[in-house]
Structure 1
Amino acid sequence: MLRKGALALALSSELVAAAINNTTPSLGFNQTLEQTWAQYSPYYPAAEYTAPPDGCSIIQVNLLQRHGARYPKKSDGKAMKKSAEQLQGASSFNGSEYDFLANFTYDLGTDDLVPYGAAQSYDAGQLHYTRYASLVSENMMPFLRASDSERVVESALNWTAGFAYASNQQYAPVLSVIIDQSTNDTLDDNMCPNVGTSDDETTDWADVFAPAIADRINAAAPGASLSNSDIVNLMMLCPFETVANEAPSPFCDLFTLDEFNSYEYYGDLTDYYGNGYGQELGPVQGVGYVNELLARLTGQPVQDETQTNHTLDSSPTTFPMNLTFYADFSHDNQMISIYSALGLFAQPHNLDPTQPDTERTWQVYKMVPFSGRLITEKLSCTADGETGEYVRILVNDAVQPMDFCGDTGNGLCTLDNFVESQQYARLNGEGDWALCTD
C-alpha cells in the first residue's frame, strides 16, 4: 500500500513553536516522575548522543520509532473510567487532593495520537535530519514505512514534516509504504495467536504493591472500596490525562513517587512477560524485522520465513536496497520483541513478579517511551591503514553494549560479527515461529 502525505495532525500554536525549536514543552513534572510511567512515559534521551569514534563515519542509518503519545486503548479507557467513577462514589473525602473529583468527567479519546504526540514526532524528524544530514541528498532520500495504524501513520508523517522543516524544505521525505496490519507485518505483533500474556506476573505484582495504596485511599474515601486493579487504573490515568491535556493530571497527586516506582515495575513486567524474554513467543515476533535489517546492512535480499511480506520485500519499489537512510514506524510491543530478538537488554534471570531487581537494565521507560526509537548505524572505520564496516545500536540515544557480537567497548561490532550473532533471526526463530500457530 503506497501513500503520500504532509503533516498528519494539527498542532496547537504552543506545540508548533516548541516543535520548530526542537523543544517539545515540558508536561509540568520533573523528569523523575514522568519516568515512572513506564511505556507511557514521554520520550527523553536515555543518554547524550555520542558521535562515532575517531576514524569512523556513518554510512547508513536504520531508524525504528514508536508512535508519539496517544489516547488510551478502548479497554484501558473503559477500565480507567469505571475506577474513577468508583472513587467518585465515595461517601466523603479526607484531603484536598480529592477536591477535583467533584467536577471530574472522564473525557479521553481512544487510540488516536494526541497533539503532544504529534509534536514528539515532529521534533524527532528535525533531530534526525540535523544528526544525519550528510547521508541525505536529492538522489538519496530517507525511505519510510509505517504499520497501518492511524497513530503510527500520523507519527511518520509528522516526522517527515519535521525533517523537511529542519532542511529548510530542501528535503521532504514521503511515506512510501504502509503495511496492512491484518497481513504479514514486521512492524506489528499481530501474527502469533498462541502467544501468552503477562497477566499472571502483573497480577502477582499488583497483589504486592497495591493493597497498601488501596487501604490508604479507601480510608480517605470511605465507600470507594477500591481493588488492586482499580489502583492500577487510577495510576494509569496520570500519564494519559497529562499527555492529552499537556498539563499535570490531578490523579497524579493521589500517589507518592515511591508508589509510582512500583507502577513503573508493573509496566516492566507487562512488556517483559508480554513480548520480551519472559514470554516464550515474544522474541520470535521480532525476527522478521531483524532479517530485514540484516538485508539492508549487507545489501542482500531478505531471507526470512516468519512475518515478512514477501511481495513487499522482494520489490525494489517497496523494499529498496543500498540506501543510506531507512525509517520505520511501529508500536511499543513490536519494538520489545525486536529488542529481544536482537539480544538487547538481556537479563541474567527472569524478572521476579514479587520483588523488583534494582540492578535490572530492563526498564521500559528507557526502551519504549512514547516516540521511543531504536537506531542502527552502519559505519566505515579506518585504523592502521585498514578499513572495515561496523555496526552500532542506540536506543533513545544510549549506545547499547553488544557483547554477543564482540563489542570492542565502544558499542561497535564488525558487520560480519553482528550478522553472525543474529543466528536466532537467521534461523527463523529456531522453531519458535511454528509454535505461534501449532
Structure 2
Amino acid sequence: LSYVDGFDITRHWGNKSSYHSANDFDMTRHWGHLSPYHPADSFGIQDIGIPSNCEVSQVHILHRHGQRFPTTAFNDGGNTQRFAYKESARWWASGFFDNSDGGSSSTSYDLLVIPEDGTENNTLVAHDSCRNSDDDIIRCFEDTTQGVFTNNYLKTVLARLSNYLDPKFNLTIMDVYAMQTICPYEVAYQGSSDFCRLFTEQEWIDFDYALSLRFYGNRSFGNPTGRVHDIGYVQELLARLQNQYIYVGNISVNSTLDNNPTTFPLGQPFYLDMTHDNIMVGVLSALGLNYFKGSPTGLPYNITHAPNPPENF
C-alpha cells in the first residue's frame, strides 16, 4: 500500500502547491501510470460474494508499486527504479502478514527475484525477451496517436505559457508536456511541485488520456503486436491453474525456472507477482478483456480533448 508523504487534501490550488481544486477535483487521479496508489473505482457490479457451493481455492495478484520514480530512459530522468519492485513486494508481504517492520515476515513466504538485465527470459519484464519491442515500426502506433493528441490539447497551453516568456524563447509542445510530466515526479520525490499549478483540470484530464493512448498503442489493443508481448505471464497463470510445470519455454517463459518446484511452486493458495505498468496492460489485453478494447476503430486520438464520458481503458 502506497501513499505520498506531505499531501494535504484540504488545500486548494493557489499560491501553495496543492492537488485538489475548490470543486474537489483530484489531479493525482489523472497522472496515468505516474499516479500514487488509489483504490480502483467500482465497475458498477454489485458484490454478491462467492456463489453457493463454491470456495476460493487460489488467488493470483499481478501488482506494481504505488507511485513511481523515473526510469533509465533519457527522457525519463535517467534514474533507475528496479529496487522499487523488490522493496514493494517485501513491504506488501509485510503488510499482508501483519509485520510492520518490513522484514520479519520473510519466513512466511518465498520471494523469487528474477534479474532484468536485458538478457533473461522474464515474463514480468517481457520486453527484454523481445528485441524488436522497440522497433520503430512497432513503436509508431503509440508515438503517432499520443503525438497527435498531445499536439492538439497543448496548443492553447503553449500559447498561454509563452505569454510569460521572452519572445526569443522558443517554447515547444514537448517542453510543455515535459512540464506536466515533471509535476508527478517532483511530487513523488519531494512532496510538491510548482509545475502542477500551471495546468487546468481539463488539461490534467487530457494528460491522463495522452498516457492512455501511449499504453494502448504500445502494449494493448491499439497495436497488432501488443498482446503478444505478455502472453508469457498468461501461460504461467494457466500452468498454475492447471497445476502443471512448463517444460518448453517460448515467448518470454523461462522454462528453467518454470519446471522447478523451488522457483515455480504449484498448488499454492496465493501468488503475488510484482511487475511493471506496461506489463500489466499487456497481460490484461492478452487475457482478452474486451472491456478495455474501446470502439472497433480503437481509441480516438485526433481530437482536441479527452472523450467525455471517458473511455474504459
Within 2, Cα distance between the matches of 1:290 and 1:234?
A: 37
Give the 5 Å matches for 1:122-161: 149-161=82-94
Which residues of 2 match residues 305-320 of structure 1 at below 5 A?
Answer: 305-320=250-265
Identity %: 30
The one of 351, 354, 359 aligned to 2:302 = 354
Residue 35 of structure 1: SS of its match in structure 2? helix
Would you say 1:207 and 2:201 are equivalent positions?
no
- Report the number of matched residues: 276
1:185 correspondence with 2:122: yes
Aligned equivalents of 2:3, 2:55: Cα separation in 1? 27
**How far apart are the structure 1 equivalents of 2:75 and 2:309?**
30
Are residue 234 (structure 1) and residue 171 (structure 2) matched?
Answer: no
Name the CA distance, whole Å, in 1 between partners of 2:57 and 2:67.
Answer: 31
Q: d(CA) in 1 for partners of 2:312 and 2:214? A: 11
Partners of 2:95 and 2:48 in 1: CA distance: 22
Take 1:23 and 1:42, find their aligned partners in 2: how far apart are those partners? Answer: 6
Tell me: CA distance 1:23–1:187, structure 2 relative to 1, closer, same or farther (3 Å): closer
* Equivalent in the alignment of 1:111: 80
Q: Does the CA contact (< 8 Å) of 2:227 and 2:282 recur in 1?
A: yes
TM-score by length of 2: 0.79
Task: Kindly report which structure 2 residues correspond to 1:220-369, keeping only aligned pairs within 5 A, or say none.
Answer: 220-223=164-167, 224-246=169-191, 248-302=192-246, 305-344=250-289, 345-349=292-296, 350-355=298-303, 356-363=306-313
Q: Per-residue deviation at 1:36? A: 1.2
Q: Is the 8 A contact 2:3 2:37 kept in 1?
A: no
For the residue of structure 2 that corresponds to 1:328, the secondary structure is strand
Deviations 1:226-265 (Å, cap 9, x if unpaired)?
101111100001111111112x311100111111111111
| Distance change in 2, residues 1:201/1:47 (3 Å) | closer
Q: CA deviation at 1:305?
A: 2.3
TM-aligned CA deviation for residue 316 of structure 1: 0.7
Q: Offset at 1:69?
A: 2.2
- Any stretches of 5+ residues in structure 1 without a counterpart? 1-18, 79-108, 113-148, 364-438
- Which of 29, 34, 44 lines up with 1:40 in the alignment? 34
* Partner deviation per Cα, 1:183-221 (whole Å, 9 max, x = no partner): 111001222222321112211112211111010000122
Q: CA deviation at 1:313?
A: 0.2
CA RMSD of aligned residues (A): 2.6
- Looking at structure 2, the residues matched to 73 and 299 of structure 1 have their Cα atoms a distance apart, in angstroms, of 36
User: What displacement does 1:279 show?
Assistant: 1.4
**Contact 2:215 / 2:278 at 8 angstroms: preserved in 1?**
yes
Question: What's the CA shift for 1:150?
Answer: 2.1
Taking the aligned partners of 2:213 and 2:309, their CA distance within structure 1 comes to 15
Cα distance in 1 for residues equivalent to 2:87 and 2:105: 21
Give me the whole-angstrom Cα distance separating, in 2, the residues matched to 1:44 and 1:26.
Answer: 16
- 1:312–1:319 Cα contact (<8 Å) kept: yes
CA displacement at 1:348 relative to structure 2: 2.3
Deviation at 1:280, TM superposition (A): 1.7
- Report if aligned partners of 2:230, 2:286 keep a CA contact under 8 Å in 1: yes
SS at match of 1:64: strand
C-alpha displacement of 1:166: 5.2
1:52-102 deviations in Å (ceiling 9; x for gaps): 335243211011111232321242345xxxxxxxxxxxxxxxxxxxxxxxx
2:94 and 2:100 in contact (8 A); partners too: no
Q: Whose strand proportion is higher, 1 or 2?
A: 1
Deviation at 1:347, TM superposition (A): 1.9
- Any idea what SS the aligned residue of 1:230 has? helix
- What is the CA–CA distance in structure 2 between the aligned matches of 1:47 and 1:300, rounded to whole Å? 34
User: CA 1:59/1:46 → structure 2, altered by over 3 Å: closer, same or farther?
Assistant: same
